[in-house]
């Protein structure tokens, strides 16, 4: 018997084959011909369209998801001497962005069901220096947000969402990224809403926060063009904004396809593997579909031999990276997730046939 050797990639960023290629080329031509490449009509339109989609008053396009977190925190007045609580089961940039503001990242352990920050762990790490909680909606799932909203308002601290992976997901019918004082999104090419390079945005309902970010992303200018203090050059350019407007129109349909694939994985694999998921009330966008296995590395190798690519996000949690190792922290649930997590391909262009191949391979592993 010959075995199919076609590889099934974890990501398949559509290049020449993207179905809306002509639409993108037309948008690129429109930007090229406009002669306006920064802070023009495409950015203004994208910001308005994304704000309407999220149900927030302001969206500010910036250069990356990382800058979006830095600017959101700085707009809340966070800097040296302050502490910001977050989780370590995330991409490094969540914690890096806190450190870049001059504040200290404080890591709380995750809830083993959601792999998001546990509200009890968060409460236990509060000090008089705590100025904000940066809540990471990892894989597009979220914790019980009502408990975080209450905790932060009781303590008078800021709630900032790292919604880099969570665009289109909801909590009790409201979009993730519309619930905290501010939220950061990333449009890196592997994210659910993808730019043609680096891009990000901040969403907020707070006009003062929006105005500060508008200034900070443009060198700290005021309305009259005077420089008030150090900001960044972090403007979202017209080409990215034009591409993102096209992606935004397809986002719900693509997220629905991800949810359909997730339902099929659930039906075939639940009972065999534990799978992290959002708290009850969360509708995920399934940026990643993860399973947890005590035999994770053997399973990954077994799948790789059959041409199935998987991911180990986040096998080295952020508190164990060289940058933060000297804190000497031990976060048992986070570290267990790091040892056991395996992410399976889940993307709108994954075919039913490829998913069936993945499912049967993952099931077969248990009988070898």
Ligand X SMILES: *Cc1c(COP(=O)(O)O)cnc(C)c1O
Q: How would you label 127-162 residue by residue, b for 16+ Cβ within 10 Å and e otherwise?
A: eeebbbbbbbbbbbbbbbbeebeebbeeeebbbbbb
Q: Which is nearer to ligand X, 200 or 231 (CB)?
A: 200
- Over the window 208 to 247, marking each residue x when it contacts ligand X by CB under 6 A and - when it does not, the resulting string is ----------------------------------------
**Considering the complex, what minimum distance in angstroms separates the CB of residue 216 from ligand X?**
16
**Considering the complex, what minimum distance in angstroms separates the CB of residue 359 from ligand X?**
26
Which residue number is nearest to ligand X in terms of Cβ?
A: 65
* d(C-alpha 14, C-alpha 243), whole Å: 13
The verdict on 94 binding ligand X (CB under 6 A) reads yes
Q: How would you label 324-357 residue by residue, b for 16+ Cβ within 10 Å and e otherwise?
A: beeeebebebbbbbbebbbbbbbbbebeeebbeb
The verdict on 107 binding ligand X (CB under 6 A) reads no
Q: Which is nearer to ligand X, 313 or 365 (CB)?
A: 313
**Considering the complex, what minimum distance in angstroms separates the CB of residue 164 from ligand X?**
3
> Of 53, 60, 78, 90, which one interacts with ligand X (CB under 6 A)?
90
The verdict on 135 binding ligand X (CB under 6 A) reads no
Q: Which is nearer to ligand X, 99 or 268 (CB)?
A: 99
The verdict on 186 binding ligand X (CB under 6 A) reads yes
- Over the window 141 to 180, marking each residue x when it contacts ligand X by CB under 6 A and - when it does not, the resulting string is ---------------------x-xx---------------
Contact of 43 with 241, CB cutoff 8 Å: yes
Q: How far is CA 72 from CA 128, 158, 181, 190, 241, in A?
A: 21, 10, 9, 22, 20
Q: Rule CB under 6 A: which of 43-82 touch ligand X?
A: 64-66
- Part of the chain binding ligand X (CB under 6 A), chosen from 87-95, 100-108, 141-149, 327-335: 87-95
> Of 188, 273, 289, 365, which one interacts with ligand X (CB under 6 A)?
188
> Of 93, 98, 337, 350, which one interacts with ligand X (CB under 6 A)?
93
The verdict on 192 binding ligand X (CB under 6 A) reads no
The verdict on 200 binding ligand X (CB under 6 A) reads yes
Q: Which is nearer to ligand X, 61 or 200 (CB)?
A: 200
Q: Which is nearer to ligand X, 179 or 362 (CB)?
A: 179
Q: Residue 86 is inside which H or E element, if any?
A: strand 83-87
**Considering the complex, what minimum distance in angstroms separates the CB of residue 3 from ligand X?**
34
Q: Which is nearer to ligand X, 11 or 227 (CB)?
A: 11
**Considering the complex, what minimum distance in angstroms separates the CB of residue 221 from ligand X?**
23
Q: What does 248-259 look like in DSSP terms, one character per residue? A: HHHHHHHHHHHH
Residue 192 tokens read as: 């659910």
Contact of 67 with 188, CB cutoff 8 Å: no
Count CB atoms within 10 A of the CB of residue 198: 18
* d(C-alpha 135, C-alpha 144), whole Å: 11
Q: Which is nearer to ligand X, 137 or 181 (CB)?
A: 137
**Considering the complex, what minimum distance in angstroms separates the CB of residue 198 from ligand X?**
6
* d(C-alpha 81, C-alpha 63), whole Å: 26
What letter does residue 306 receive in the DSSP assignment? T
Q: Which is nearer to ligand X, 137 or 259 (CB)?
A: 137
* d(C-alpha 298, C-alpha 329), whole Å: 28
The verdict on 255 binding ligand X (CB under 6 A) reads no
Contact of 81 with 129, CB cutoff 8 Å: yes
Nearest to 327 by CA among 70, 120, 81, 108: 108
Please give the radius of gyration of the chain, using alpha carbons only, rounded to the nearest integer.
21
Q: Which is nearer to ligand X, 240 or 355 (CB)?
A: 240
Count CB atoms within 10 A of the CB of residue 126: 16
Nearest to 361 by CA among 311, 313, 312, 299: 299
**Considering the complex, what minimum distance in angstroms separates the CB of residue 229 from ligand X?**
23
Positions touching ligand X (CB under 6 A) are 64-66, 90-91, 93-94, 136, 162, 164-165, 186, 188, 198, 200
């Amino acid at each position: 018997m010959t075995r199919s050797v076609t590889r099934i990639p974890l990501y398949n960023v559509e290049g020449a084959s993207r179905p809306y290629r002509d639409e993108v080329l037309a948008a690129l031509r429109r930007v090229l011909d406009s002669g306006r490449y920064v802070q023009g009509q495409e950015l203004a339109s994208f910001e308005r369209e994304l704000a309407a989609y999220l149900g927030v008053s302001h969206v500010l396009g910036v250069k990356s998801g990382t800058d979006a977190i830095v600017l959101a925190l700085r707009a809340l007045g966070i800097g040296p001497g302050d502490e910001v609580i977050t989780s370590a089961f995330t991409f490094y940039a969540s914690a890096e962005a806190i450190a870049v503001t001059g504040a200290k990242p404080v890591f709380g352990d995750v809830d083993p069901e959601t792999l998001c920050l546990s509200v009890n762990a968060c409460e236990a790490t509060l000090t008089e220096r705590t100025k904000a909680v940066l809540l990471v909606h990892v894989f597009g799932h979220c914790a019980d947000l009502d408990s975080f909203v209450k905790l932060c308002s009781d303590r008078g601290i800021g709630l900032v969402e790292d919604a880099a992976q969570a665009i289109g997901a909801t909590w009790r019918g409201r979009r993730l990224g519309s619930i905290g004082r501010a939220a950061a999104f990333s449009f890196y090419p592997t994210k659910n809403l993808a730019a043609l390079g680096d891009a990000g945005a901040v969403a907020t309902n707070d006009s003062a926060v929006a105005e500060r970010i508008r200034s900070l992303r443009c060198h700290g200018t005021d309305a009259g063009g005077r420089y008030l203090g150090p900001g960044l050059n972090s403007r979202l350019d017209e080409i990215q904004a034009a591409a993102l407007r096209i992606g935004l129109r397809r986002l719900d349909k693509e997220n629905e396809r991800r949810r359909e694939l997730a339902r099929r994985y659930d039906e075939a694999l639940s009972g065999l593997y534990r799978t992290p998921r959002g708290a009850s009330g969360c509708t995920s966008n399934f940026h990643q579909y993860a399973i947890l296995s005590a035999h994770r590395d053997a399973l990954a190798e077994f799948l790789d031999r059959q041409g199935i690519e998987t991911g180990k996000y986040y096998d080295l949690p952020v508190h164990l990276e060289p940058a933060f190792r000297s804190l000497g922290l031990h976060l048992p649930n986070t570290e267990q997730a790091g040892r056991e997590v395996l992410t399976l391909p889940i993307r709108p262009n994954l075919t039913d046939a490829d998913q069936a191949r993945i499912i049967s391979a993952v099931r077969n592993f248990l009988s070898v």
